[in-house]
Structure 1
């Protein structure tokens, strides 16, 4: 990934302190600038050199009148994958929606649209992770006929199409392949959900990316979800 023109050590600090609308001035492509902030933040998290949280008292007062998150992150509810920590971001930096298997529902879509349309967020990240329990449940339901009880079935139903897609390539690790396929499927669903998204992507004002988090290394891999 091409590095922005600001020095690498200063970029995360400068851009996370800027309101979202100022990302355009800091970088020709605000979505690329926001993504670079997250990439650099994850590098700090994985290496154990965190720079957040900021002075929480001062930061709390700063953002109380209005929020300016730089990205919307849709991630799994898994306790091991908190986006703010994974990307080394502070209070008010990310607009986050978490649901098992990062599946889409009307409530999630509404939250996403609010972030994009009312907060001018230039970036959406769909963050999957290895050994996802929701994906495992969908795999078990499809391969073993093990149907979960209660509302977990709704999660499995939404993830099952991704498992079927992954099966077609006969992977050695179906759960891992399904995790990646599920990220791709959700990215595609988001892109197709709103007519303005394609226009903004074309104008390089906005992007939607898929990613996969490694529980062992702490590293986020950006997936090719074009």
Structure 2
């Protein structure tokens, strides 16, 4: 599971799994960079993981900061930069902007992983790897596949 580093959304708790049952990579805004992709490649190529879930969540602070164009310091602007594609695709959609950006980001990241990871395109094409975007509702505990 590629998920957000927000302490309210630990996949092990969300899916009622014990330690060691899930391979989890967490980063604010569930965005991709080389280290994140490398971590996921390790799971797929060396641990035989066949399902990757990219899970965004409601009330994501990284997404909210991107939507409000909040001025951030240090390395934090790199997070909002990574979310700009989802922000641009969500503009004009009906509904809550933060929710729409979060969902679009999960979809975009899942699609990018399908094309980016070592051997991922052929694994996906041969049905040996599935990559799905998802959205977790903090209020209800429900996970929607997108």
**Shorter-chain-normalised TM-score: which range?**
over 0.9
1:200 has 2:128 as partner? no
Match of 1:165 in 2: 89
Match of 1:79 in 2: 7
Distance 1:95 1:195 in 2: 18
Which segments of structure 1 move beyond 6 Å, counting only runs of 4 or more?
Answer: none
Distance 2:115 2:36 in 1: 15
Provide TM-score, normalisation by structure 2: 0.95
State the 1:135 CA deviation.
0.3
State the 1:195 CA deviation.
5.5
Match of 1:89 in 2: 17
Aligned length: 146
RMSD: 1.2
Provide TM-score, normalisation by structure 1: 0.62
State the 1:194 CA deviation.
2.9
Structure whose CA Rg is larger: 1
Match of 1:177 in 2: 100
Q: Larger RCO: Structure 1 or Structure 2 (Cα < 8 Å, ≥ 6 residues apart)? A: 2
Match of 2:28 in 1: 100
Match of 2:37 in 1: 109
Q: Unaligned regions of 5+ residues in structure 2, if any? A: none
Distance 1:157 1:82 in 2: 24
Q: Unaligned regions of 5+ residues in structure 1, if any? A: 1-72
Distance 2:95 2:57 in 1: 17
1:149 has 2:66 as partner? no
